[in-house]
Amino acid sequence: MSDNPNGIPSDRDRSKEELIEELEALRREVAELKTTKTAFDAQNELLKAFVTMLQTATGKLMLRSMLQQTMNVARSLTNAEASSLFLLDADGVVTESLLARGATIRMQKQRLVGEVLDKGLAGWVIRHRQPGLITDTRNDERWLTLPNQPYAVRSALCFPILKGKVLLGILTLMHSQPGHFSPETVKLMQMSADQTALILDNARLYTERQEVDKEARPTGELLPNEGEFSRIGIYILFGEGNFLYANSRLAEIFGYTFGELVSLESVLDLVATDSRRFFAEQMNQCLQGYSKNLSCKFRGQRQDGSRIDVEVYGTRTKLYGKFVIIGALRWI
């Protein structure tokens, strides 16, 4: 008989097994929270680097700097020892690449990239459009050891950088010890995948625009780094479209303070009336598991009633035992 007048068992009435089970559940929630915070800290770092690069570098230098920063953030996030990154165009041709071995003669670099895309893990990821995890390279035929390779690799994780269904790039992370990367590492990278794709796509577009238009813009017109290329917000949605997390940039896009934004009943309050049904269907299909990714454009509505065009990308994942959408939104 419980001594609690409301009939609710006290901790003294509960069995040791029940208390242990509850403790383990709390530990899992704390671990998930730490993982989410780690992923978002990394993406905010990448976003800040992007804005800085737009202000300090131009053209190919800016793009290659962002590729290098993307690799740095991914290595820090996963404790990888080495990495490589290929940027692809719409036809799947490598337009930029950074190799783990560093600077390489152009002809040799082209040959190495070709071999990896033809016979290696990167090629497998391109064909299957999904992460490639190798716990031990000695037991996985997808791994290709290159001639005169100046580093040892026993475990590897290769990740597609996707914007919707478009493959933007291939990121490969490597470590000298087997079993270094795990399914948890894959989940961590997936949490930041959409934001990474959005930032790299903006960097690519910015570079292409600079190459096409070399002339100065008219006085008073915003430069790309002051306008469209910094209009990226990050979010986590759950339930009926409630905000579990949003950064301050997302609030600024819609003319809200951070506190006002996270207090909204639903993300649908940011969607123009004539677009709400469409966006709600897209969001619910993702949350309910009919689609793993959220990728669409819609008319947004700012706090002052003005309309803006936005594109949103997100990935469905599990957090605190519930399914959520983690992603990024851009004002276009």
pLDDT digits (tens, 9 = 90+) for 284-300: 999 998 987 888 999 99
**Which of the four pLDDT bands, split at 50, 70 and 90, describes residue 104?**
low
Residue with tokens 């208390």, as numbered in its chain = 19
pLDDT band at 309 (very low <50, low <70, confident <90, very high): very high
- Structure confidence at residue 54 (pLDDT): 59
Mean pLDDT of 138-159: 87
How far apart, in whole angstroms, are the C-alpha atoms of residue 21 and residue 254? 43
pLDDT tens for 205-221 read 777 766 665 544 444 44
Across 222-242, b (16+ Cβ under 10 Å) vs e yields eeebeebbbbbbbbbbbeebe
How far apart (Å, rounded) are the C-alpha atoms in residues 247 and 12? 42
| Segment 163-175 mean pLDDT | 90
Q: Pairing relation of β-strands 307-319 and 322-331?
A: antiparallel
**Partners of 96 in the β-ladder:** 87
The helix (run of H) or strand (run of E) holding residue 235 is: strand 232-238
Give residue 301's pLDDT: 96
Question: If you search the block for the tokens 């190799």, which residue do you land on?
Answer: 99
- Residue 321: pLDDT over 70: no
> What CATH number should be reported for the domain whose range is 231-331?
3.30.450.20
Q: Which CATH superfamily is domain 26-211 in?
A: GAF domain (3.30.450.40)
Q: Under DSSP, is residue 316 helix (H, G, I), strand (E, B) or coil?
A: strand
Model-level pTM? Answer: 0.61
Other residues' Cβ atoms within 10 Å of the Cβ of residue 104:
14
3-state secondary structure of 94: strand
Task: Give the pLDDT mean for 84-97.
Answer: 86
Whether 10 shows a pLDDT value over 70: the answer reads: no
Pairing of strands 242-246, 232-238: antiparallel
Q: Which value, to the nearest 10 degrees, does the dihedral of the CA atoms of residues 269, 273, 279, 285 take?
A: 90
- The per-residue pLDDT for 229 is 47
Range with lowest mean pLDDT among 44-58, 275-289, 303-317: 44-58
First to last CA, the chain: 63
Q: Could you tell me if 123 and 116 are in contact, meaning their C-beta atoms sit under 8 angstroms apart?
A: yes
What pLDDT score does 156 carry? Answer: 95
**pLDDT exceeds cutoff 50 at 223:** no
Task: Give the number of C-alpha atoms closer than 13 A to the C-alpha of residue 212, restricted to the C-beta side.
Answer: 6
Hey, where are the domains in the chain? Answer: 26-211, 231-331
Confidence of residue 3 (pLDDT cuts 50, 70, 90): low
- 3-state SS class at 70: helix
Does residue 326 have a pLDDT over 90?
no
Is the model's pLDDT at 77 over the cut of 90?
no
Q: Is the pLDDT of residue 169 over 60?
A: yes
